[in-house]
Amino acid sequence: MTVLPKSVEKVIEEFAKLPGVGPKSAARMVYHFLRSPYKEASKLADMLKLMDEQVKFCKECFNLADSEVCAICDSPVRDKQKVCVVEESLDVVAFEKSGVYNGTYFVLGGVISPAEGVGAEELRFKELKVRVKSIEGNVEIIVATNPSLEGEATSNYIQDMFKREIKEGRVIITRLAMGLPTGADLEYADQLTLKRALEGRVKV
């Protein structure tokens, strides 16, 4: 016997579509709303609507923004000759939290992944080309895709895209260093990480 009202079941189904959420935890979350004496569900609903209405993508870097151009692209103190290419906006948040980067970003929207049906045309490569073209002087493109096979393929694609500019010396492309993360245990490091750490060893 189905005992849940239809409207509740629908919301549970919707929550279960979120990344990392199974049907059981989705039900727990929705029950949290139903238990609450205040109309928490409606409150969240209003916030979601507002988000959908207000959130824009920066027309320069495609990061999430409140306005046409995001605060980073708009900032006079950020180094415009550096463009850090990331997969998604969350990666920008990670960089900004660390405070180690003073350049600008470009959000690609994902990585090339034939397995998941994501081809180059799904990503913002054309927009990246336009963006780099619009920058005066030399440009360093820092490819900060995740250290995965897909990230690697995407990095190669970008390198290919700027072949001519690289030859002309107008563009250089760099990648984030790969190696052991801080606090890692050699014993548990995977083969590829060890290989990269060895290849990239530095003189002390």
| Encoded amino acid at 85, one letter | V
Residue 121 to residues 125, 127, 132, 174, Cα–Cα distance (Å): 8, 11, 18, 23
> Is residue 7 a contact residue for its own copies (CB under 8 A)?
yes
State the greatest distance between any 2 C-alpha atoms of the chain, in Å, as a whole number: 71
Question: Residue 104 is encoded by which pair of tokens?
Answer: 């600008």
Closest distance of CB 203 from its own copies, Å: 34
Closest distance of CB 8 from its own copies, Å: 6
For its own copies, the closer of residues 4 and 172 by Cβ is 4
> Is residue 117 a contact residue for its own copies (CB under 8 A)?
no
Q: Distance between CA 175 and CA 125 in Å, rounded?
A: 17
For its own copies, the closer of residues 7 and 182 by Cβ is 7
Is 159 strand, coil or helix? helix
For its own copies, the closer of residues 57 and 170 by Cβ is 57
CA dihedral in degrees (190, 193, 194, 196; nearest 10)? 160
> Is residue 10 a contact residue for its own copies (CB under 8 A)?
yes
> Is residue 48 a contact residue for its own copies (CB under 8 A)?
yes
How many chain residues bind its own copies (CB under 8 A)? 59
For its own copies, the closer of residues 6 and 203 by Cβ is 6
Report yes or no: 142 and 85 within 8 Å, Cβ to Cβ.
yes
> Is residue 18 a contact residue for its own copies (CB under 8 A)?
yes
> Is residue 96 a contact residue for its own copies (CB under 8 A)?
yes
Report yes or no: 161 and 123 within 8 Å, Cβ to Cβ.
no
> Is residue 93 a contact residue for its own copies (CB under 8 A)?
yes
> Is residue 116 a contact residue for its own copies (CB under 8 A)?
no
Least Cα distance to 84 among 140, 17, 149, 39 occurs for 140
Q: Which residues bind its own copies (CB under 8 A)?
A: 1-8, 10-11, 14-15, 17-21, 25, 27-35, 39, 41-56, 63-66, 70-72, 88-90, 92-93, 96, 99, 109
